[in-house]
Amino acid sequence: MRRITAAAVLIVMTIAMTVSSFAASGISLKKAEKIALKDAGVKRSQVKNFESERDGGKYEVEFVKKSNGTEFSYEISQKGKILEKSVDYVYEKNSSTDKIGKKAARKKAAAHSGVSYNKVKKGTCRYEYDDGEGKYEVNFKSGKYRYEYDILAPNGTVMEYDRKLIK
């Protein structure tokens, strides 16, 4: 009887330690979802195609804003830090060959990201015309993050951007 009791106590203690160490390791999936929604400036009722999951030591949260179809994708650490954010805007395709220029594209990326133009101009800016559409690919680093922008060449509309934590 004592052996069974000692074994039962050992099992209960092991389970309790595992649960408490997991709980102490970081935020919950629900908290990660709230962080992503807050960063995007939307409420849960304002999005569709909402998906979230724990993937190893981080959380992945994805959703689409109902009002305009903008797609958001987040990677969030267990401590609640946004490691990666990707936004894909819906826009009307423009087949014009007009170009705002690389300097204007970099300025648009700087204004959108909140990073100084001087840091943005140290990165790369490449014009690409593909499938009847002109765009600038602007890439730069600032602090602990790497930024990637796709900007429509005719009017400077931000089509898509990513912000990734540099490891």
Q: Which residues belong to CATH 3.10.450.40 in the chain?
A: 102-165
Low-confidence ranges of the chain (pLDDT < 50): 1-3, 6-24
pLDDT number for residue 98: 77
The CATH number for 29-88, chosen from 3.10.450, 3.40.50, 1.10.10, 2.40.128, is: 3.10.450
pLDDT number for residue 126: 94
What is the value of pTM for the model shown? Answer: 0.66
pLDDT number for residue 12: 44
* Rounded Cα gap, residues 100 and 108, in angstroms: 10
Cα→Cα distances 55→33, 52, 60, 74, Å: 14, 9, 7, 12
pLDDT number for residue 84: 92
Q: Report pLDDT digits (tens) over 92-108.
A: 666 666 789 999 999 99
pLDDT number for residue 118: 93
| Per CATH, domain 102-165 is 3.30.70.100 | no
* Rounded Cα gap, residues 39 and 72, in angstroms: 10
pLDDT number for residue 57: 87
- What's the chain's average pLDDT? 84
- Could you tell me the two tokens for 36? 């992503």
